A and B are shown apart, each in its own frame.
Chain A
Amino acid sequence: MRRLILWGVALCLLALAPLFLRSYTLYILSLAGVYVIATLGLNLLTGYAGQLSIGHAGFLAIGAYTSALLVARLGLPFWLSIPLAGLLTGLTGFILLVPALRLTAIYLAIATLGFGAAVAEILPRWTALTGGYQGMKVPKAVLFGLALDSDVKLYYLTLSIVIVMLLLARNIVDSKMGRAFIALRDQERAAQACGISLTRYKAYAFFISAFYTGIAGGLYSFVVGYISPGEFDLAKSLLIFMMMALGGMASLPGSVLGALFLSFLPHWLSGFRGLQQFIYGAALVLVVIFMPYGFWGFVRRWTMPDKLERLPRPLRAVVEFVRG
């Protein structure tokens, strides 16, 4: 009950944000929302099911180009193009299932890296479809006659999709499938001995993860309004990976925090001319050192009953209220 109140308050704040935030900040928030969805996707695969991937920019690209092309070339409505992009990207997730059934850990990561690199190479060369290196303009999103042409409208669009994807992720994690992912991650043999099919559940994990990232890609194309192959490189795969790792592996709230943090960090640092890269790197190192289980692990640790005493009073009141 108290948790519901907390969520209600958070939701109200997010819904009212356009009243007191600049248009540019809203744009960054929308972009962060896109990354929240992609990070959720990666976390379901890597955090929960234990399959390392550093090629998720490939899925993001496939989702972005699919939805953009569906609208630009086939004239499909944008609200249909995003789920379709998710489904199609989900199917391409099965490409990675092939190496995943033979490779583990770092070797799988290398295979996924190869996948990301391949997508990044194919996109600019497939000029007829993608427009090559120059990229392509994405048509404006139109929802039942209402053009989503401002940052505020796009913010609300992103917010609603993020909420849906978060609720869906929570249901997956709490379901039999979510437990099967964790079982396969921690004790592959025992999981099989319980009757969990390795092939089938790895396939689910890759499909779901690619589906999420495809949705994120589709949304990305409309939020940014312009896509080009250069954006979906290894750096982007690593960015999504860091969002997951800094937020907290196998944690949904962690994915939100990690994606928000790394989306806003470069903007907070824009004042430090010449030092941005240095501070960015230092911030990452500090987070990893002092929060080894990510932001959410840190929050969890400091809200344990024994640590609660040492928290400042107002913070403590909030935690105790939520705990009930």
Chain B
Amino acid sequence: MLKLEGVSTYYGPIQALKEVTLEVEEGAIVAVLGANGAGKTTLMNTISGLVHPRAGEITFQGRRIDRLPAERIVRLGISLVPEGRQLFPDLTVWENLRMGAFIQRDHRGIKESLERVFAHFPVLRERRGQLAGTLSGGEQQMLAIARGLMARPRLLLLDEPSLGLSPVLVRELFRIIRELNREGTTLLLAEQNAHMALTTAMRGYILETGRLALSGPAAELRANERVRQLYLGVRAGTTPQTLS
């Protein structure tokens, strides 16, 4: 569905992505792992057209998209839930959701998306008249995802959705991610929470300083010694069960 080949992105003279090659198959959940500054957000922004790669190719459903502006890419069916939520604080929950459906013209379609989103996030229905800036952190994250869904994406990009959420909310979040996937949305998520990401995703990619360090089926990565040491917090020679 989505293919990146040799994608390199720069911020001025600094190279943030180094020849990244990655594939997301239709119907999959794919996780991109990495520490702070590894290039996860750059990767997400490059796919969604907010920054353009200097080299390499990105294709979505067979179509090249790496030169398209962000507003065209949304229309093709890729929706980004940006890092740190980036809600519109002075707009209400309802208005934020309307902004998510900005590209949609027909009111029936918007209403349907709205109903679908409220089914996933009932709390947003209760708070639809409230300003987004006054929501709690967890509600804000739900709203950010809901806003992304309002564009009816075929591929949803989630940039660090678990950031700043309590453990309970993180579990809830990943439950919703699986639910969305079952309904037919393909997901690519950038995460620091490697444990949750690798138990939810089917495939994983690991970024280190802008370069792809490892990739493979999630189960394989979970078993990989290096991944366990660096991302799952397991010391060499111990088993995960010994961790409390």
Contact = CB atoms under 8 A, between A and B. Distances in A.
Interface size class of A (residues with CB under 8 A): 10 to 19
Interface of A: 176, 179-180, 182-183, 186-187, 189-197, 250
A169 to B, nearest CB: 17
Given A182-B91, A194-B151, A189 B86 contact: yes
Given A176-B102, A179-B98, A189-B86, A195 B75 contact: yes
B232 to A, nearest CB: 31
A147 B80 CA distance: 59
A190 B89 CA distance: 12
Contact of A192 (B71, B90, B100): B71
A189 to B, nearest CB: 6
B9 to A, nearest CB: 15
A107 to B, nearest CB: 17
B177 to A, nearest CB: 19
Contacts of B95: 179
27 contacts: A176-B98, A179-B88, A179-B91, A179-B99, A183-B88, A187-B86, A187-B87, A189-B45, A189-B50, A190-B82, A190-B86, A192-B49, A192-B69, A193-B48, A193-B50, A193-B70, A194-B99, A194-B102, A194-B147, A195-B70, A195-B71, A195-B74, A195-B75, A195-B102, A195-B103, A196-B102, A197-B69
Contacts of B79: 193
B90 A195 contact: no
Nearest to B132: A186
Contacts of A196: 71, 99, 102
B80 to A, nearest CB: 4
A60 B95 CA distance: 34
Interface in B102-136: 102-103
Given A182-B88, A193-B48, 20 more contacts: A179-B88, A179-B95, A179-B98, A179-B99, A180-B99, A182-B90, A183-B88, A186-B88, A186-B90, A189-B50, A189-B86, A192-B69, A193-B79, A193-B80, A193-B148, A194-B99, A195-B102, A195-B103, A195-B151, A196-B71
Contacts of A193: 48, 50, 70, 74, 79-80, 82, 148
Interface string B63-94: 00000011100110001101000111111000
Interface string B141-160: 00000011001000000000
Contact of A183 (B45, B99, B103): B99
Interface residues of B, number: 27
Contact of B88 (A187, A197, A250): A187
A192 B50 contact: yes
A184 B30 CA distance: 30
Contacts of A250: 90
A48 to B, nearest CB: 10
Interface in B16-54: 45, 48-50
Contacts of A190: 82, 86-88
Interface of B: 45, 48-50, 69-71, 74-75, 79-80, 82, 86-91, 95, 98-100, 102-103, 147-148, 151
A175 to B, nearest CB: 11
| Majority-rule SS of A interface residues | helix
A197 B71 CA distance: 6
A196 B99 CA distance: 9
Contacts of B89: 186
Contacts of B74: 193-195
Name the 4 nearest CB pairs between A and B, nearest first: A190-B86, A195-B103, A195-B74, A192-B70
In this complex, the member of A187, A190, A191, A250 whose beta carbon has the largest number of chain B beta carbons within 10 angstroms is: A190
A124 B82 CA distance: 51
A192 B103 CA distance: 11
B75 A189 contact: no
B90 A191 contact: no
Contacts of B70: 192-193, 195
A191 B103 CA distance: 11
A187 B148 CA distance: 14
Contacts of A182: 88, 90-91
A145 to B, nearest CB: 46
Nearest to B101: A194
A195 B98 CA distance: 12
A179 B79 CA distance: 19
A290 to B, nearest CB: 23
Contacts of B71: 192, 195-197
Contacts of A191: 88, 99
A179 B87 CA distance: 13
Contacts of A179: 88, 91, 95, 98-99
A186 B88 CA distance: 6
A187 B80 CA distance: 13
A176 B90 CA distance: 14
Nearest to A250: B90
Nearest to B157: A193
A176 B148 CA distance: 17
